[in-house]
Amino acid sequence: MPVQKFKNFEEASRALWNFNPDKNYYQGISKFYKLFSRLSKIHVSKGIFKFRNLQEANEHKYRH
C-alpha cells in the first residue's frame, strides 16, 4: 500500500471511501471479516431470550 500525503483532514477523509469497488475490494473485505470472526472472543447466541430480571440476564450473558 503506497504512502499518501494530504493537505488537510478533509482530503484524508475522502481517501478512505471507495466509490468504485471491484471484485478484489469485496474479496479483501470478506477476508478481513473472516479473520476478525476467528480472532474475536465475542460469541452472540442466536435467538430471542426472555428473562425474569436483570440478574438472570447478566448470568446468561456471562455464561455464553
- pLDDT tens figures, 27-64: 999 999 999 988 987 777 789 999 999 999 999 888 86
**CA dihedral defined by 29, 33, 34, 36, rounded to 10 degrees?**
140
Alpha helices in 1-64 (DSSP H): 9-15, 23-39, 54-63
Cell of 47: 435467538
Would the pTM count as exceeding 0.75? no
